[in-house]
Structure 1
Amino acid sequence: MENIRDYLKNNVLLFDGAMGTYYDELTDDGIGCELANIKNPELIKGIHNEYIEAGAKAILTNTFSVGIDVFNGDRNLQKEVVVAGIDIANEAAKDRAYVFADIGPIHTGSNELAFEEYKVLIDIFLEKGVKNFLFETRSSTSGMVLSAEYIKEKCSDAFITASFAVMPDGYSSEGYQYNALFAEITNSGVFDAVGLNCVSGANHMAKLLKDVDTKGLYLFAKPNAGYPVVRDDRVYYSSLANYFANQIEDILELGVNIVGGCCGTTPKHIELLKKSMSGKLIKPRRAVKSEKSTAQNIRVNRFKEKLDLGQKPIAVELDSPIDTNITKFMDNAKKIKAAGADIITIADNPIARARMDSCLLACKVRNELDFDVLPHMTCRDRNVNASRGLLLGANAMGVDNVLVITGDPIPNAQRDEIRSVFEFNSVKFANFINSLNNDVFESPMNICGALNVNSRNFSAELKKAVRKQENGVKVLFTQPVLTKRAIENLKTARENLDIKIMGGIIPIVSERNARYMQSEVNGIYITDDIVEKYIGKGREEAEEIALSMSKEIANEIYDLVDGYYLITVLNRVSLMERLIKTVKKVCDNR
């Protein structure tokens, strides 16, 4: 066949439609379409033929979901299925259509681990002579650039496409904004085409692709046939084929070079799309216009301003109510503000126990008390949609700071009743909010993160902190500093990180309190000699010890931190008022 790059000079390349959803329409065998490569190869070949006869000039191997986890670690079965998928596609295509290796997402954690898994598949494709590759339905770039570089090393004339799955708002399930994903691909220099597939229908996809900058790469689009509905426990796509073909015309008007269909599309969709494309000239890509406002109404972030000016702000953490009675919390917040704190932080369901929502409470404090607020947001309890909605509301209500944390795990005894979400970790969550800062928020949020100075493997904690900073975190709040080891780790952080640090201080109020934190609270390290200080001490004596220890720590870490993070224990607000004044004196006397 003609070299694919030569073909694209004069033609829009028409891909096939969906394999998985069309396979499900034709059969009810329940084995999954990839296993059908070896269980029912004639059916898979028949589907390929239907798409080619409908007008497709490119088809995908039936290998979307062939990660090793699908085969329970059986590499031989994995290879058998992939090889069969390649052979079936080649037999169907012959000289009628280009064959692309279809590589779906592999969720393995790190960029390097993802690459190692992709490499196994890539080697099989290359051994079979495949030269065209599609990395599709991706929610991040994990492993992709390394994989493309590897392919180009082995086959310099390979044609490689990267395609991302994003919602109509432009964000992937991992919280990445599509323009940022495109930029990583276009800047890598090893891809030939970039685009979108799945999740969105043609109408929304056209809006997303309207002003993208592909920097010379071909633009790819495979939208779904509308949006799915569930009837009788089965998923259906209700978009009519002629409507789909008409909607694709809007995408072609943008100068898209490669089109096809994803979930819900059938040979009928491709046939009508082929007819609508017939005789039409290739549209040139339009110049990209920047619509970023140059006159943003950015609020003054008083907390960030004090950090930037080196004024050592004081943050105080209060736990939100466990019920609907908000009066005491608001009274305590007033006292904390009057004592001289600069910002109040509100934990998000600490130790995985439900409390009043930190963001909603932050909005109330910010607007009724004119007190700066820092709600914590965990990745444990909300998916990307819920997180985005809450952030939009909080930002609109004047909340300018947020602290992102992964979140404490659900206790084992409750896991049958309460499900964790964890669509993000704290690094990805920070990146998600940073993209909202760049593209949505008129007044950007100051993104904060956590730093565990009590970690036994602090080098790993430092690496994580660097990743947080790279993804938009501007301030790190440390776990409570109570030991020499914590101070040494804090020194290491100061020497190695170019980021603002809020030093954590927690006043221990009794022997029982000390033993509880020592045994049951993750991230706090308390030595036996600290516990011994409180043995036999009454409330007043214990609080004096707490103030004395906290003052000593505040003095010792003064040069290592940019501010102080004071954590309220057992709702002892009167003690916190004294501690705020104590820490302010430490700062005044330096």
Structure 2
Amino acid sequence: MKPLLEALKERILIADGAIGTLLYSYGVDRCFEELNLSHPNEVLKVHKEYIDAGADIIQTNTYGANYQKLSRYGLEDSVKEINTAAVRLARKAAAKNTYILGTIGGIRGIRQNVSVEEIKRSFREQLYCLLLEGVDGILLETYYDFEELTTVLNIAKREADIPVIAQVSLHETGVLQNGMEIKDALQQLELLGADVVGINCRMGPFHMVNSLEEVPLPKRAFLSVYPNASLPNYEEGRFYYSAEPDYFGDISNELRLQGARIIGGCCGTTPDHIRSVASRLKSREPVKEKKVKKKKVVQLSSPSISGSLLHEQVREKKTVIVELDPPKHLDTKLFFQGASALKEAGIDALTLADNPLASPRISNDAIGSLVKSKYDLTPLVHITCRDRNLIGLQSHLMGLHTLGIHNLLAITGDPAKIGDFPGAASVYDLSSLELIELIKQNNEGISFSGKSLRERTQFSVGAAFNPNFRHLDASVKRLEKKKKAGADYFISQPIFGKEQLIQVYEATKHLDVPIFIGIMPLISSRNAEFLHHEVPGINVPEETRQRMKEAGNDPVKARAVGMEIAKDLLDTAIQLFNGIYLITPFVRYDMSVELIHHIQEKTNTEREVPYGHHIV
């Protein structure tokens, strides 16, 4: 049998189809790769069925057989055992002229929070297991994240002396999720040493044909394509694919005409699909020249915005933002009275929480739009990862841009179980870090899928800062990660002690990112105790709680003490930070108005000091 690359010079090779699709009957939630150990005869049967259907190439049942994915099932210590068994089963099934590819799937998908170092460690472990057992090539498949694919490709080319196939996966025709055109991605993979470059998963053959129309034939490498059977259907809790094998076989010739030398199948494909492809392509010659379709260039516009972006404004002057939570009911009279009073007091933005403590309120995008249009007040809209899946988040961002709302705060959000709808589910498709990255990608005119938005959003994105953790250094490291993800500014949880304000300043002064420091007036001793003991992320010092306790049960006296504490804190805060974040308690906007006037008096009568990094 000729080596794999020698064979590809002469003819088209037919690859196998999905393995997981045929093993699906053993349960949706189980680990398919573990079946190499518990049901080896079933895995062997799948391989043989594909070979009998005409496959020249089969892949090992190791797509997710890495430390990261196996750990979901408590199998992280079985990486070697599972991969070893997989290669031996493929070798046992193979005919004399069958090529065996050791498959390694991508780790990053929607969630991007697996570090490059973790990916490297996991990849090397799996790669060495496959190489030790002797495979004819390495198949890198289903990589949505281009950084991950280039990282592991470099390792594979350095460590292996066998062919490496590198395949990306697309959400949209012709583009990766980072907006890179498929032709540019495949060219880069070829330059990095990939012997075969291609596409697999997510799309059916029709959209893969459309994607390859814009791809020239590689100069040195070969093209591969593994389409899904079709788009999946969902019925009675199960996904299934309805594409007919004959259709799949017919359109495989169009893949050949686009230059594909390896044609197989991904999700939903079966031996019948591969048999249909083999019957049509076994005697066909590979294409050695093709006419490349030119991609239509989409011009991105950058519309002007009304109002200012907070991270720019706070670098220039003392900036005060005030939180006024949207109502939990439909009576909005008091809320808009407060918004009007705060506007008259001269605030720079009104921050609108997104269902804080997992309790539903009037949507802050609706309230924000009204605040902007009726009161000419800049809304700062919070966005949690808790309530919307990735589709909803992308749609929400597009809607906010269309409404002219450009100042955002990206936060994870309190878990649903702590709210007053305890049966609700927390979504968390993204973390706050990944939401920041998505917002920044939208600012480049690219959606999560990589598709052009045809217009650049112009979001100023803030991130939450909790200085109340026991170890402040850990909170600051989190800030550094958020800054790296693209955060333009930070908004802190409320601080109730002067010493803590100074500690926070010293711990964050190396960051060239503005910080809005949180100040919240207390209204009673009971309020102080509740915040300290029951609200996550808030710490009220014992001295402050004692002062509130000494005020007794007189609400007027308690308010006065609470305001005195807040003003003392503000006197320190305005010397250290250019951004002040006032948190209005229980829609008592008169308290925030009074604190705004105090800030204005202090900044107008006292000599300005060099505020350091926070206003650079």
Range class of TM-score, shorter chain: 0.7 to 0.9
TM-score by length of 2: 0.82
Alignment-derived partner of residue 236 in structure 1: 240
Q: Does 1:112 align with 2:117?
A: yes
- Deviation readout 1:526-579 (Å, 9 max, x if unpaired): 111111222243444444444443333334233543422111112110111111
- SS of the equivalent of 2:340 reads helix
**1:72-87 equivalence runs, <5 A:** 72-73=74-75, 75-76=77-78, 78-87=79-88
Q: Which amino acid aligns with 1:134?
A: L
| Deviation larger for 48-57 or 519-528 | 48-57
TM-score by length of 1: 0.85
Q: Distance in 2 between matches of 1:342 and 1:284?
A: 59
Q: Distance in 2 between matches of 1:213 and 1:444?
A: 35
From 479, 484, 497, the equivalent of 1:483 is: 497
Contact 2:359 2:421 in 1 (8 A): no
Alignment-derived partner of residue 410 in structure 2: 404
- Deviation readout 1:113-141 (Å, 9 max, x if unpaired): 44444443222112112363334334546
Structure 1 gap ranges (5+): none
Q: Distance in 2 between matches of 1:415 and 1:170?
A: 40
Alignment-derived partner of residue 58 in structure 2: 59
Q: Does 1:16 align with 2:20?
A: no
Q: Distance in 2 between matches of 1:165 and 1:487?
A: 47
Alignment-derived partner of residue 454 in structure 1: 468
CA drift at 1:455: 2.5
- SS of the equivalent of 1:34 reads helix
From 500, 516, 521, the equivalent of 1:507 is: 521
Alpha carbons of structure 1 residues 210 and 44: separation in structure 2 relative to 1, 3 Å: same
From 105, 129, 135, the equivalent of 1:130 is: 135
CA drift at 1:70: 5.9
Alignment-derived partner of residue 320 in structure 1: 326
Q: Does 1:395 align with 2:401?
A: yes
Contact 1:102 1:136 in 2 (8 A): yes
Q: Does 1:498 align with 2:498?
A: no
From 529, 536, 546, the equivalent of 1:532 is: 546
Q: Which amino acid aligns with 1:64?
A: Y
CA drift at 1:495: 2.5
- SS of the equivalent of 2:429 reads coil
Q: Does 1:68 align with 2:70?
A: yes
Contact 1:511 1:531 in 2 (8 A): yes
Contact 1:145 1:185 in 2 (8 A): no
Q: Which amino acid aligns with 1:90?
A: R
Contact 2:157 2:193 in 1 (8 A): yes
Q: Distance in 2 between matches of 1:30 and 1:378?
A: 28
| Deviation larger for 319-328 or 184-193 | 184-193
Q: Which has the higher contact order (CA 8 A, sep 6+)?
A: 2
Alignment-derived partner of residue 449 in structure 2: none
Alpha carbons of structure 1 residues 553 and 270: separation in structure 2 relative to 1, 3 Å: same
- Give the share of equivalent positions with the same residue, in percent: 27
Q: Distance in 2 between matches of 1:464 and 1:257?
A: 47
Alpha carbons of structure 1 residues 209 and 296: separation in structure 2 relative to 1, 3 Å: farther
Alignment-derived partner of residue 450 in structure 2: none
From 268, 271, 276, the equivalent of 2:272 is: 268
Alignment-derived partner of residue 205 in structure 2: 202
Q: Distance in 2 between matches of 1:458 and 1:394?
A: 34
Q: Distance in 2 between matches of 1:14 and 1:91?
A: 19
From 374, 378, 385, the equivalent of 1:379 is: 385
- Deviation readout 1:401-442 (Å, 9 max, x if unpaired): 211111112346989722211111111111122222221253
Q: Distance in 2 between matches of 1:488 and 1:190?
A: 53
- Deviation readout 1:18-54 (Å, 9 max, x if unpaired): 11213447x8999765344345545433433443454
Contact 1:322 1:356 in 2 (8 A): yes
From 351, 356, 360, the equivalent of 2:357 is: 351
**1:179-328 equivalence runs, <5 A:** 186=188, 189=192, 196-206=199-209, 220-231=224-235, 234-247=238-251, 258-274=262-278, 278-282=284-288, 286=292, 291-293=297-299, 295-304=301-310, 306-307=312-313, 310-328=316-334
Alignment-derived partner of residue 169 in structure 2: 164
| Deviation larger for 396-405 or 80-89 | 80-89
Structure 2 gap ranges (5+): 447-452, 609-616
Q: Which amino acid aligns with 2:501?
A: I
From 500, 510, 520, the equivalent of 2:534 is: 520
| Deviation larger for 536-545 or 55-64 | 536-545
CA drift at 1:179: 6.1
- SS of the equivalent of 1:377 reads strand
- Deviation readout 1:344-402 (Å, 9 max, x if unpaired): 11111112222222223223323333321111111122211111122221221111121
Q: Distance in 2 between matches of 1:479 and 1:499?
A: 16
- Deviation readout 1:467-502 (Å, 9 max, x if unpaired): 222222211111223324532443245432122222
Q: Distance in 2 between matches of 1:480 and 1:28?
A: 48
Q: Does 1:422 align with 2:436?
A: no
Q: Which amino acid aligns with 2:128?
A: D
Alpha carbons of structure 1 residues 484 and 331: separation in structure 2 relative to 1, 3 Å: closer
CA drift at 1:111: 4.0
Q: Which amino acid aligns with 1:96?
A: N
Q: Does 1:365 align with 2:371?
A: yes
Alignment-derived partner of residue 552 in structure 1: 568
Alpha carbons of structure 1 residues 488 and 71: separation in structure 2 relative to 1, 3 Å: same
**Between Structure 1 and Structure 2, how many residues are aligned?**
585
Q: Distance in 2 between matches of 1:376 and 1:516?
A: 24
Q: Distance in 2 between matches of 1:83 and 1:469?
A: 42
Q: Distance in 2 between matches of 1:579 and 1:218?
A: 68
- SS of the equivalent of 1:224 reads coil
Give the superposed CA RMSD.
3.8
Q: Distance in 2 between matches of 1:207 and 1:116?
A: 36
